Amino acid sequence: MESLDTNGASPSHASHPFTAPHLAGIRVRLRPILPKDYGFLQTVELMSDLHFRFRLRGATPSPEQWSQTLWHSVLAQFLVVTQAQDRIIGLVMAYRPNFQDGHAHVGAARFGTDTRSPLMMLGFGLFVQYVFTCWNFRKLYLETPEFNYEQFASGSGRYFEVEARLREHFFFDGRYWDQLTLAIYRDRWTHYAQRLLAAEAPDHTRRVRVTVPPLRSQQRRIVTDDRQ
Amino acid sequence: MTDSDSARLSRELTDEIARLAQIPTEDIHADAHLIADLCLDSLALVELVVYLVEKYDAESLLSLDDREWTAVTVESLFTECTRGQSVAQSWTERVAGGTLPLPPQ
């Protein structure tokens, strides 16, 4: 049995104190969805490119069905809001968690898809960090039609891997498009996203150490190794 | 900042943009637009911002709310980040001086 120090903490965890994940960075923050946001969210989803690029893909559900769609299988979901202007720029979500096998799906929708911007990507980075911090997932899947993939394709092989391709899966505008399944691995994320998240951390020294906790099984191994 | 300092910084910026755009450094030209010409995606823009903040500590990059990235060129970005650092030579002057590649004719 492990010995406890006077504060009741396991010695092996003493160097890993409790640290809540950052919901706010220098440029963007994550905030929960409130009932008052529903009208805005429904409008922006139904009256922009998102109507075709995101989950509805052209359908117009009733307000009741739409709100159910918003929360269907959702584990966690936030709005991405800019710090400077308090402007909602997108939505990030984790859904279909599989706790037995250690994975979940994540998604993101950027409002105003006519311009390319790093802000939404920073918000998504904060969110992935949040999910890996709160739950013991090995990897996160992101499903995307190929026409959305070009917005973040440069991260392939570093931030994520392309793990599956369903050929001609989606119909839109007279042709079929592939669906890609990307996988964000916890260890790869820890390695590559640290610099990105440190630059967004609300500490102007930008020397904040951002880490993802290891899987519980790895922690147990570490404890075992300590005893040897 | 001396001429050699600014030349070194502009070369480093060119190298970083080339890395992010996954193209040879010699294909990066001062008047190239980050998105239309170099095809930087949103993730590459994030990495570029991180690099610029680390390298130049540019105040203007602390908020990106109103930035219109489609208009940004390699030269305009360099000028913005080195503003207030007494860049002795403009990017165009350095191109004329042969320290940077010329844009395609």
Which tens digit of pLDDT belongs to each residue from B62-86?
A: 667 767 888 899 998 888 888 755 4
CB contact under 8 Å between B50 and A195, yes or no, is yes
pLDDT band with cut points at 50, 70 and 90 for residue A46 = confident
Q: Indicate whether A38 pLDDT > 90.
A: yes
Q: Which residues in chain A are contacts of B35 at CB distance < 8 A?
A: 116
Q: Indicate whether B87 pLDDT > 70.
A: no
**Structure tokens of B92?**
């165009």
Q: Which residue of A has its CA nearest to B52?
A: A199
A196 contacts chain B (CB < 8 A): yes
pLDDT band with cut points at 50, 70 and 90 for residue A10 = low
Counting one residue from A and one from B, how many pairs have CB atoms under 8 Å apart?
72
Q: Which residue of B has its CA nearest to A149?
A: B41
Mutate to test the interface with B, among A80, A117, A151, A200 (most CBs of B within 10 A): A117
Mark A23-61 as b/e (b = at least 16 C-beta within 10 Å).
bebbbbbbeebeeebeeebbebbeebebbebbeeeeeee
Pairing of β A103-110 and β A139-145: parallel
Supply the pLDDT for residue A59. 84
**Structure tokens of B41?**
């995606």
Supply the pLDDT for residue A227. 41
Which tens digit of pLDDT belongs to each residue from A142-190?
A: 999 998 898 899 999 999 999 999 999 989 889 999 999 999 999 999 9
CB contact under 8 Å between B42 and A87, yes or no, is no
CB contact under 8 Å between B45 and A118, yes or no, is yes
Q: Indicate whether A23 pLDDT > 80.
A: yes
Pairing of β A175-185 and β A161-172: antiparallel
CB contact under 8 Å between A151 and B46, yes or no, is no
Backbone angles phi, psi at A7, to 5 degrees: -90, 0
* A103 vs A201, higher pLDDT: A103
Residue B100, Cα to own-chain centre: how many angstroms?
12
Q: Which residues make beta-bridge pairs with A109?
A: A91
8 Å CB contact between B24 and B15: no
CA distance B52 to B46: 10
Q: Which residue of B has its CA nearest to A116?
A: B42
Supply the pLDDT for residue A172. 87
Supply the pLDDT for residue A32. 97
B45 contacts chain A (CB < 8 A): yes
CA distance B11 to A199: 23
pTM of the model as a whole? 0.80
Supply the pLDDT for residue B105. 42
Residues above pLDDT 70, as percent of chain B: 68
Q: Which residues in chain B are contacts of A115 at CB distance < 8 A?
A: 68-70
Residues above pLDDT 90, as percent of chain A: 51
Q: Could you give the C-alpha distances from B76 to A195, A227, B19, B37, B84, in angstroms and in order?
A: 25, 58, 19, 14, 14
**DSSP characters over B35-66:** TTTT---HHHHHHHHHHHHHHH--GGGS--TT
CB contact under 8 Å between A196 and B64, yes or no, is no
Q: Indicate whether B58 pLDDT > 80.
A: no
CA distance A142 to A144: 6
* B60 vs A210, higher pLDDT: B60
A151 contacts chain B (CB < 8 A): yes
Supply the pLDDT for residue B103. 46
B58 contacts chain A (CB < 8 A): no
8 Å CB contact between B64 and A115: no
ipTM computed for the complex: 0.75
Q: Indicate whether B95 pLDDT > 70.
A: no
Supply the pLDDT for residue A77. 97
CB contact under 8 Å between A121 and B45, yes or no, is yes
* A108 vs A206, higher pLDDT: A108
Q: Which residue of A has its CA nearest to B43?
A: A152
CB contact under 8 Å between A196 and B54, yes or no, is no
B71 contacts chain A (CB < 8 A): no
* A97 vs A204, higher pLDDT: A97
Q: Which residue of A has its CA nearest to B61?
A: A27
Backbone angles phi, psi at A160, to 5 degrees: -150, 165
pLDDT band with cut points at 50, 70 and 90 for residue A117 = confident
Least confident of A86-95, A201-210, B30-39: A201-210
pLDDT (mean) for A4-24: 69
Residues above pLDDT 70, as percent of chain A: 81
pLDDT (mean) for B28-43: 92
CA distance B65 to B57: 17
Residues A214, A33, A25: CA angle, nearest 5 degrees: 50
Which tens digit of pLDDT belongs to each residue from A47-105?
A: 777 777 788 788 888 889 988 989 999 999 999 999 988 999 999 999 999 999 999 99
Of B46, B67, B68, nearest to A196 by CB-CB distance is: B46
A108 contacts chain B (CB < 8 A): no
